[in-house]
Amino acid sequence: MKIAFHGQRGSYAEAAAAWMYADQDIATTPCNTAQGVFDALADEHCQLGVVRVENSEWGTSFEILDLLRATRVHFAREIRFHERYNLAGQQGAKTADIKRVYAHPAILNLSSTYLSMQSDFELIARYDSAENLAAIVQRGDKNEATVCGDFAASIFGLQVLQPSVENSVTGVTRFVAMTKAKQLPPEGSTDVKTTVMFELKHQPGALMHALAAFQANNINLTQVFARPNRTNKWDYTVFVEFPGRFDQDNIRTALAELRKHTTYLQLIGSHDSVEPRLKTT
């Protein structure tokens, strides 16, 4: 099974794909943009796509929400974990040996507090993290290091010289796996949630009536937020998430009632949740 992911080889998005489908034979394909992941699904080059959708400190990725509104893909699975970044170098190297640190600008920024205190480090931004990591390994220079996650360090054979150099040690990132075809989680799956998006009619009480459809069917909304609609100016797309599967009677009834109060309704799907297979904190 082919899985597209947003990021470079060794990124946490690739780790998320590996952990979510650890029991299956998979091949991962990196994409430089989130749009590339959606395109890989649309063109059926890959059966699954993995993207970041939320971080407990930064909030929701509006880029992903906009892409969901513009396409027809469905959530299939999710995983949540802390993204840990480490100073990593050659086997046998020590932190005192390091003179040059190569990493993606975003990762350098995420580790800026630690790196700013290392006056002997020359920080060099490189946009292609995968080629950068491979080059460090090939050169075998103990004066060179990078900042990368546990997964990247393991697959490229680098030694962690200083663990957990990220600025925040409490943030948790949520990744989702998406499919082109709507599907239900396997029977017996735990922590199953359903996500829908909708747009309201311009009439008094529309939002109240829409949300009442869930209350009337004993559905607890665990997430509710709105995003400006890129298609119709000054309209908003509302996203809600709640426990359960979309084939449950009460959820079917709630969505049928919800449709009466909306101009647009899209079922993003029902998905289960899995735990990471490796320690990341």
20 exposure class (CB count in 10 Å sphere: 0-12, 13-18, 19+): buried
The domain boundary residue, chosen from 128, 147, 180: 180
pLDDT at 279 over 70: no
Domain boundary among 145, 180, 215: 180
Rounded distance between C-alpha atoms, residue 38 and residue 69, angstroms: 12
| Confidence at residue 59, expressed as pLDDT on a 0 to 100 scale | 86
Judge whether 31 and 24 are in contact, CB under 8 Å.
no
| Residue 106 confidence class, pLDDT cut points 50, 70, 90 | confident
Count of domains observed in the chain: 3
Whether residue 77 sits in one domain with residue 89: no
* Shared-domain flag, residues 42 and 99: no
Question: Partners of 75 in the beta sheet?
Answer: 178
Residue 277 within any structural domain of the chain: no
pLDDT band of residue 233 (cuts 50, 70, 90) is low
212 and 265 fall within a common domain: yes
Q: If you compute the radius of gyration of the chain from its CA atoms, what whole number of angstroms results?
A: 21
Q: Are residues 175 and 37 in the same domain?
A: yes
Instruction: Lowest mean pLDDT of 57-61, 128-132, 156-160, 262-266, name the range.
Output: 128-132
**DSSP element (H, E) containing 273:** strand 262-274
pLDDT at 278: 55
Q: Which pair of structure tokens corresponds to residue 164? A: 């957990």
The answer to whether position 278 is within a domain reads: no
Backbone angles phi, psi at 21, to 5 degrees: -125, 45
Count, residues in the chain: 281
Q: Which domain holds residue 232?
A: 192-271
Q: Are residues 117 and 242 in the same domain?
A: no
Q: Does 247 map to a domain?
A: yes
The verdict on 93 and 125 lying in the same domain is yes
**pLDDT band, residue 206 (cuts 50/70/90):** confident
**Is 276 inside any structural domain?**
no
| Phi and psi angles of residue 169, each rounded to the nearest 5 degrees, phi first | -105, 5
Q: Supply the pLDDT for residue 91.
A: 93
Same domain, 92 and 75: no
Which is nearest to 77 in space by CA: 143, 22, 136, 11? Answer: 22
| 48 lies in the same domain as 89 | no
Task: Select from 180, 215, 246 the last residue of a domain.
Answer: 180
Q: What share of the chain is helix, strand, coil (3-state, %, to 5)?
A: 30, 35, 40
Q: What 3-state DSSP class applies to 183?
A: coil
Are residues 13 and 145 both part of a single domain? no
pLDDT higher for 16 or 135? 16
* Co-location of 212 and 264 in the same domain: yes
CA distance 87 to 165: 7
SS3 25: coil
Q: What is the CA 25 to chain-centroid distance, rounded?
A: 21
Q: Do 176 and 69 have their domain in common?
A: yes
Round to whole Å and give the CA distance between 24 and 140.
34
Of 131 and 164, more confident: 164
CA dihedral of residues 85, 87, 89, 92 (deg, nearest 10): -110
